[in-house]
Amino acid sequence: MNNKEFITRLAKKCNISAADAGTNVDALVGLMTECLKENDQINVSGFGILEVKMRNERLSVNPKTGQRFLVPPKIVPAFKPSNKLKDKFK
Amino acid sequence: MDAKLNQSDLISLLAKENSISVAKAELFTKNFFDLIIEGLEQDGIVKINGFGTFKITDVASRGSVNVNTGEKIEIKGHRKLTFLPADALKDNVNQPFAMFEPVEVDETYQPDAANDVEADDIVDVAADENIEPVEEKLQNVANEPMTVEEVAEEGVGNAVETVETVEVVETVDDIAAPEEDNAVSAEAPVEGTAAEVCREETDAEAALPEEEKTVAEPLAVAVQERPTEPVMVHIPKKKSAEEKQTTPRGKRKGVWSIVPLLIIALAVVFILVNRMEKDNAIVADSNDANIVNTPASVSGSSTGSKAPEFVAGTAKSDSDVTLPVAVEEKTVAEEKSVGIDNIENTITANVAADEPQVPGEYVFVMVDELASSSLKSITLADTLLYIADGELAQHTVAHDETLTKIAKQYFGDKKLWPYIVKYNNISKPDDLCRGMLISIPRLMPRR
């Protein structure tokens, strides 16, 4: 299911226009991004937890050339599905 | 800021953001997450622009171990829900560390290894300094018999008459002197003396190899103990230049290869001189010949019961000639070794005292001292083969001209220069000045 399909189905579900659904999706995504940016944890019951995690710097080796790189630390978004969801797809 | 938002917070924020009613926002948000689950059930993948992709992936079965009991268990293959954040989300989240980029690690820089390499280099350099001079010296020592033989050959070639043995004994000092003279070197002896030199060499030939050994060993030791201070450093440049000028043919390979060789040659000759002088002294006093034959350095050990001081004392009483030379040798050498570095142990000092080659100035001093005695030999030579008969020409000494060159020019034989000295009564043949007016004698064969 791609983005366009997702929006049309969401619009049908909510009885709103696809354009409105689109803006709402963008707004919600922007909202969640802002929250994650500020290290907030978004806990959606029945779905899972969206949060950010810190990855430390590390050395990685290019197996072809043997070059070694120092990869800088970074912050990554992570999703942790709820147990209910996990069990559903297991 | 590290807050925990739940769905209701999200709904209120969305309502505020989009200016819609909370009910609509709540409906929308619930439908949003429900639809993701639906989509996953339907396609196994849901893609939301600017946010990311929810995806169901297969996990292969794998073996594992129960931590508590230690027994092997198998985790069966299953599916799991994964979230791949979109680039926009990743970048937004990672803004605090956005300025970092992966850096390639410089493999070549290893602090310990770098130090080791430097140390190795230093050691190598030091080793080279150690080895080179020693090898050079060894080579020179190996070449030494050649030079001696050359001198001997020359003597044989020029020798015409045999000279009385008594005369040999008397003139030993004088013969050795021209050899010492740096301007003369191998070409010095005129025919008569050449014969004597030949005789002397043959007399000394048996002893020479031993001497060379003794010379070579202390030299090697000295060089090893002072690797940063090659022997060549002590040689006065002026002298080396003069030697270069008058070096016999075929030896102009390079100043630095010739100079040590010449020093060794001079030193060997000097040892001979020393020995012969002692010979003279003790023959004059009619003492034991055994003590006489040992050079100053060896005398202590060879005489056994006699202490070195005692030998020196006897030498003092025996002859005036021997004493100054021997004493000067030791004092100069000792001053040299002490002055250069005090750290040197007594062995080095002894070696230096026994080894006349190390101090360059010492050889120089000796040459000056014996310069006068060289005249005697010239006088002697004059009486043998040629007689000065009138004046052949007047010659004004030009720049860079030597007596040997002049002799070569007028007589065709550079070995005949002592006749010029004798004829003009030049007191110091070495100090020939430019512009000096000298008379060239006409030489007639004696018979």
B16-74 per-position pLDDT tens digit: 888 888 888 888 888 888 888 888 888 889 898 888 999 899 989 888 898 899 898 88
In a 13 Å sphere around the CA of B353, the CA atoms on its Cβ side amount to 19
In this prediction, residue B254 has a pLDDT band, given cuts at 50, 70 and 90, of: low
Q: Is the pLDDT of residue B198 over 80?
A: no
Which of B1, B36, B104 is closest, CB to CB, to A69? B104
| Contact status of B409 with chain A (Cβ, < 8 Å) | no
- Inform me whether the pLDDT recorded for B370 exceeds 80: no
Q: What is the pLDDT of residue B216?
A: 43
Closest partner residue to B29 among A2, A6, A28, by Cβ? A28
Which ipTM was obtained for this model? Answer: 0.90
Nearest CA in chain B to A49: B6
Chain A CB contacts of B32 under 8 Å are 10, 25, 28
Q: For the structural domain made of B385-445, what CATH number should be given?
A: 3.10.350.10
Secondary structure element (H or E) that encloses residue A71, with its range? strand A68-71
B70 touches chain A (CB under 8 A): no
B6 with A44: Cβ contact below 8 A: yes
User: Which range, of B13-17, B57-61, B423-427, averages the lowest pLDDT?
Assistant: B423-427
CATH 3.40.50.2300 applies to domain B7-97: no
Angstrom distance (rounded) from CA A56 to CA B74: 31
Mean pLDDT across chain B: 63
CB < 8 Å to A9, chain B: 35, 38-39
Query: Nearest CA of chain A to the CA of B344: how many Å?
Result: 53
CA distance B264 to B360: 11
Residues 18-37 in A contacting B (C-alpha not used; CB under 8 Å): 21, 23-33, 35-37
Q: Compute φ and ψ for B82, nearest 5 degrees.
A: -120, 155
Q: Kindly report which listed range (A21-30, B15-24, B152-161, B269-278) carries the lowest average pLDDT score.
A: B152-161
Q: pLDDT for A43-69, tens place per residue?
A: 988 889 998 999 898 888 888 888 888
Cβ-based neighbour number of residue B282 at 10 Å: 21
- CA B45 from chain centre, in angstroms, equals 79
The token duo for B242 is 């003069």
Confidence of residue B384 (pLDDT cuts 50, 70, 90): low
Q: Measured between CB atoms, which of A10, A29, A41 is closest to B51?
A: A29
Q: What dihedral angle (degrees, nearest 10) is formed by the CA atoms of B434, B440, B446, B447?
A: 130
Contact B105, A69 (CB under 8 A): yes
Nearest chain B residue to A39 by CA distance is: B2
Q: Is A63 on the interface with B (CB under 8 A)?
A: no
Residue B156 has pLDDT above 60, yes or no: no
CB proximity under 8 Å: A 66-85 to B: 67-79, 81, 85
What are the extents of the domains in chain B? Answer: 7-97, 122-377, 385-445
Whole-number Å distance between alpha carbons of B156 and B78: 109
Q: Which residues of B touch A13 (CB under 8 A)?
A: 31, 34-35
Structural domains in chain A plus CATH codes: 1-38 (no CATH), 40-90 (4.10.520.10)
Check B18 against A39: CB less than 8 A apart: no
* pLDDT (tens digit per residue) in A18-32: 888 888 888 888 888
Read off the pLDDT band of B85 (50, 70, 90): very high
pLDDT band at B440 (very low <50, low <70, confident <90, very high): confident
The answer on pLDDT for B172 being more than 80 is no
Predicted confidence at residue B182, as pLDDT, reads 43
Q: Is A61 on the interface with B (CB under 8 A)?
A: no
Contact B445, B383 (CB under 8 A): no
